[in-house]
């Protein structure tokens, strides 16, 4: 496993546990995070404040479907679920692009689609 893929795996493990310290240790200080259709932020402090996400409780359940790497980019297809503060559990499909710099995540771009009926809809 490459250094970049290992960093992304460590990052995802931290997200699954809700471990802010572990997550932040995988990021550059100037990290950029975009969730298309939702928000964009820059910097570790802003990232730290957005980890749980408004309206959600507890860490998400995340499963890697596949992960590929080319040069300084790691891409991951994920499935998962998260619990809203109302107790409702939502299922989702995600595509993630991690742009790496010196073994750390410098930019994260995510596409998250809520699944309401089945595995693709």
Contacts of 63 (CB under 8 A, 6+ apart): 78, 79, 80
The pLDDT value given to residue 52? 87
CA distance 35 to 80: 16
* Model pTM score: 0.94
Tens digit of pLDDT for each residue in 10-41? 999 999 999 999 999 999 999 999 999 999 99
DSSP letters spanning 42-104: ESHHHHHHHSS-TTEEEEEEEEEEEEEEETTEEEEEEEEEEEETTS-EEEEEEEEEEEEETTE
Assigned CATH class of 3-115 = alpha beta
Tens digit of pLDDT for each residue in 59-95? 999 999 999 999 999 999 999 999 999 999 999 999 9
> Domain-by-domain residue ranges, the chain?
3-115
């Amino acid at each position: 496993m490459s250094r970049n893929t290992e960093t992304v795996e460590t990052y995802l493990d931290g997200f699954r546990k809700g471990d802010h310290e572990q997550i932040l240790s995988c990021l550059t200080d100037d990290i950029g995070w975009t969730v298309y259709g939702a928000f964009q932020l820059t910097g570790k402090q802003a990232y730290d404040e957005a980890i749980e996400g408004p309206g959600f409780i507890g860490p998400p359940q995340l499963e890697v479907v596949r992960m590929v790497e080319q040069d300084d980019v790691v891409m991951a297809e994920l499935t998962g679920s998260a619990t809203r503060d109302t107790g409702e559990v939502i299922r989702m499909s995600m595509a993630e692009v991690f742009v790496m710099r010196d073994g750390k995540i410098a930019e994260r771009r995510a596409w998250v689609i809520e699944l309401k009926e089945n595995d693709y809809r």
